[in-house]
């Protein structure tokens, strides 16, 4: 029971709150490795911006070539969406060495719906073949 003028309970609560705040960890926007707590080990793998395997290297080359041709076309919702997905795939392959299956599936769907674009650009057929080879289509 606290007596008037006795703020030790409030001080205890404030101290406990500060302790909890000091123990919490918030990590955001980190590039590299992070270890939290005692007796942890961190292992990092860095890719040099190249694809992990030949299929992804060929896909990366096809993406770069197709995007260069796509940039010469009139910009509309379809070309913008396709370029955005291609840019994401390119970034992913450069950073991780490969494109995730979900990204490849989305890219395959976009390319299937953009046959007029892929047929218009000489690099389009190579890109479609590379994506299909990786998604098994």
Q: What is the pLDDT of residue 13?
A: 79
Average pLDDT per block of 10 residues along the chain, 137 residues long: 60 73 56 60 52 86 92 88 94 93 92 85 88 85
Number of H helices, E strands in the chain: 6, 0
Give the span between the Cα atoms of 132 and 127, in whole angstroms: 9
Q: What is the pLDDT of residue 33?
A: 58
Q: What is the pLDDT of residue 10?
A: 76
Give the span between the Cα atoms of 87 and 95, in whole angstroms: 12
Q: What is the pLDDT of residue 52?
A: 67
Question: What are 81's two structure tokens?
Answer: 């969406």
Whether 52 contacts 97, CB under 8 Å: yes
Listing DSSP states for 60-86 in one string gives: HHHHHHHHHHHTTSPP-HHHHHHHHHH
């Amino acid at each position: 029971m606290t007596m008037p003028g006795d703020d030790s309970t409030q001080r205890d609560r404030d101290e406990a709150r500060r302790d909890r705040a000091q123990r919490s960890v918030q990590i955001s926007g980190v590039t590299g490795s992070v270890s939290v707590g005692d007796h942890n080990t961190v292992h990092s793998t860095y890719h040099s911006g190249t694809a992990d395997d030949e299929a992804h290297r060929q896909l990366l080359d096809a993406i770069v070539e197709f995007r260069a041709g796509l940039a010469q076309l009139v910009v509309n919702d379809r070309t913008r969406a396709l370029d955005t997905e291609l840019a994401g795939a390119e970034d992913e392959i450069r950073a991780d060495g490969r494109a995730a299956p979900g990204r490849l599936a989305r890219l395959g769907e976009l390319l299937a719906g953009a046959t007029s674009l892929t047929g218009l650009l000489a690099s389009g057929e190579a890109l479609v073949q590379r994506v299909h080879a990786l998604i098994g289509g």
